[in-house]
Amino acid sequence: MPVVTPTRAIDRLRKAANLEPTKKSVELSDGTTFEMWVSPLTMAERERAQKQAKSDDANAFALQLLISKALDENGTKLFAPGEIDILKNEVKDKDLQTLMLAILTDDSEAMDPKS
């Protein structure tokens, strides 16, 4: 009879994580669609973004996540750290907020409309 080795908790968690990037589509204020690929947020990424934000400001934190996590379909970063001022000063706040929210939102956490 084969011996069944129980799965370790850490292995179960890593398997369940599925950190592959998924496509996110955001409608911009001009009616066009902006597409980006984003992997689920890890604790290490959250900690790095908080450190890079250099403040407790939620917008600075979310902007750091946008810079580090938004990818194109080939896995290339869409934004460079040096573009933060451009994003803050030359992009509509509504569009920037929508993009940052898309980074922070895990599609699997979407609200069930029946609840």
Q: Where are the alpha helices (DSSP H) in the chain?
A: 9-17, 43-53, 58-69, 84-90, 93-104
Per-residue pLDDT tens listing for the chain (115 residues): 677 777 899 999 998 998 999 999 999 999 999 999 999 999 999 999 999 999 899 999 999 999 999 999 999 999 999 999 999 999 999 999 999 999 998 765 443 334 3
Residue 13 structure tokens: 């968690």
Q: What is the pTM of this model?
A: 0.81
Tens of pLDDT, residue by residue over 11-40, are 999 989 989 999 999 999 999 999 999 999
Write down the residue that tokens 């996540």 correspond to.
65
Cβ(50)–Cβ(115) below 8 Å? no
